[in-house]
Amino acid sequence: MNIIVVGCGKVGTKLVTELVAEKHSIFVIDTDLEKLEELGNTLDVMCVHGHGESVSVLKNADVDSCDLLIAVTRSDEINLLTCLIAKKLGAKNTIARVRNPVYAEAIDLIKDDMGLSLHINPERAAAREIARLIRFPSAIRVETFAKGRVEIMKYEIPEGSALVELRINQLRPKLKTTVFVCAVERGGEVFVPTGDFILRAGDVISFVAPIKVANEFFETVGAISHKITNVVILGGGRLTYYLTQILIESGHKVKIIEISKERCEELSEIFPEAMIIHGDGTDNNLLHEEHFENADAVLSLTGVDEQNVLMSIYAHQQVPSAKIITKIKHFDFDDVLSGMDIGSIVYPKNITADLILRYVRVMQNSWEASMESLHRIVDDRVEALEFRVRQESEVVGIPFAELNIRRGTLVACITRNGQTFTPVGKDSIQIGDTLIVVTTHKGISRIEQILDDEAEI
């Protein structure tokens, strides 16, 4: 596809890098000439120096033959205006990053008039991810499929767990669970396991299950299963605003500690149900005065990564039973953070890039297949694809025992007539099914490409 990316900050640069790897033709627009030169020297992209909302600049980027324009500058107004002008000049689809809560309520009313295909709010998207983690406190990460019927969750196996030294094919008979383990991370390696794969302490497993089954699984293996009620949030920014909305609606008790008195007053007016504390979240005395030890979840969501890391480490030491969630703004700390006790890490900028990349893949593939959604469940090494089977094909009606599915690919579950199940050898794919396929192979766009005799992609 022909794609224009306006803004080459951290999100824009990540997007451009991924889109080039997927063989798209990319124009990049930015006012920072140095950044453009750096991108142009390292990636196969065409660069245009200037403002994205400029008609002449957009024309220089061949906007009239553009399949998709993505505006991710720091300014919501520029992003929206750029998309509006680009649409008028012939861009087929447009995506804008919009962060201001003021626009969140109005944008749904005007997006059709603007010709906006998608708008993404990083903080709102991050709030939804955190809310899913609070719903499943034992999970490191949660992704939703099949219109909310199925979840893919990450869970780290602790020492002494009932899972240690079990083969994958022993989970069902020994633990009486139907969860489907579709990926295992171990010592920097990633495995799409077969039935004889043996689990070990320290493994991070990704498994597929309906919500009820997932809850039963966590109880069976002795993971944290208590319901989270009391949530302490350190930092009162935009992410906290969106998350507090969700938590209050779902009946949680929320306490926010924010250093800005003015922001505390704003939050108090917006959320009278929440307890707003004016103070420094790094102040030990304040935390103890506010009965920090009674928290079921501690969320470090300030705008400073270093503060968030330190507060999460402290929270883990003081309240080891609590669910700990840490917001990180930058992409560059993964190796350092992996060995720290800071709970689940949420990257709002990473979420933004992944949502846009998912839309691009689904949009591209929808021209030739019925892919519903795509999630990267282990960085960029394993993908979970959701397909809707709409017509006859070489995979329909054949028992799985007879399907030559390519190595590194699993059909994790099937949803049929509202019921979800993990397929066994005698089962087969039927028209109307929704499938979740987990694979280490990039570029799968048709369900037939799960077969080993398919041409290389």
| Domain 127-220 indexed as CATH 3.30.70.1450 | yes
Which of the residues in the chain have pLDDT under 50?
Answer: 367-369, 454-457
Question: How confident is the model at residue 400, as a pLDDT?
Answer: 92
User: What homologous superfamily is domain 230-346 in, according to CATH?
Assistant: NAD(P)-binding Rossmann-like Domain (3.40.50.720)
Beta bridge partners of 436: 386, 413
Question: How confident is the model at residue 334, as a pLDDT?
Answer: 62
In the CATH hierarchy, which top-level class contains the domain 2-120?
alpha beta
Instruction: Yes or no: say if 180 and 145 are a contact pair by the CB < 8 Å rule.
Output: no
**3-state SS string for the chain:** CEEEEECCCHHHHHHHHHHHHCCCEEEEEECCHHHHHHHHHHCCCEEEECCCCCHHHHHHCCHHHCCEEEECCCCHHHHHHHHHHHHHCCCCCEEEECCCHHHHHHHHHHHHHHCCCEEECHHHHHHHHHHHHHHCCCCCEEEEEHHHCEEEEEEECCCCCCCCCCEHHHHHHHHCCCCEEEEEEECCEEECCCCCCECCCCCEEEEEEEHHHHHHHHHHCCCCCCCCCEEEEECCCHHHHHHHHHHHHCCCEEEEEECCHHHHHHHHHHCCCCEEEECCCCCHHHHHHCCHHHCCEEEECCCCHHHHHHHHHHHHHHCCCCEEEEECCCCCCHHHHCCCCCCEEECHHHHHHHHHHHHHHHHHHCCCCCEEEEEEEECCCEEEEEEECCCCCCCECCEHHHCCECCCEEEEEEEECCEEECCCCCCEECCCCEEEEEECCCCCCCHHHHECCCCCC
Question: How confident is the model at residue 456, as a pLDDT?
Answer: 43
d(CA 51, CA 32): 10
Question: How confident is the model at residue 332, as a pLDDT?
Answer: 61
Query: Chain centroid to CA 304: how far?
Result: 21
Instruction: Yes or no: say if 16 and 8 are a contact pair by the CB < 8 Å rule.
Output: yes
Could you say which architecture CATH assigns to the domain 363-450? 2-Layer Sandwich (3.30)
Torsion of CA 117, 53, 12, 442, to 10 degrees: 40
Of residues 105, 71, 117, the one with CA closest to residue 241: 105
At 272, list the tokens. Answer: 């009278």
Which part of the chain has CATH 3.40.50.720?
2-120, 230-346
At 233, list the tokens. Answer: 């949030």
Which part of the chain has CATH 3.30.70.1450?
127-220, 363-450
Identity of the residue numbered 309: V
Of residues 411, 437, 409, 431, the one with CA closest to residue 423: 411
Question: How confident is the model at residue 236, as a pLDDT?
Answer: 95
Sign of the dihedral through C-alpha 388, 393, 396, 400: negative
> pTM, whole model, 2 decimals?
0.82
pLDDT tens, residue by residue, 244-258: 999 999 999 999 999
Task: Indicate the pairing of strand 297-300 with strand 409-416.
Answer: unpaired
Could you tell me which residues come within 8 angstroms of residue 88 by beta carbon, excluding any fewer than 6 positions away? Answer: 115
Instruction: Yes or no: say if 404 and 452 are a contact pair by the CB < 8 Å rule.
Output: yes
- CA 71 vs CA 51, 283, 360, 404: distances in Å: 11, 39, 14, 42
Task: Indicate the pairing of strand 94-97 with strand 141-145.
Answer: unpaired
Instruction: Yes or no: say if 339 and 333 are a contact pair by the CB < 8 Å rule.
Output: no
d(CA 74, CA 96): 11
d(CA 263, CA 278): 9
Q: What are phi and psi of 77, to 5 degrees?
A: -65, -45
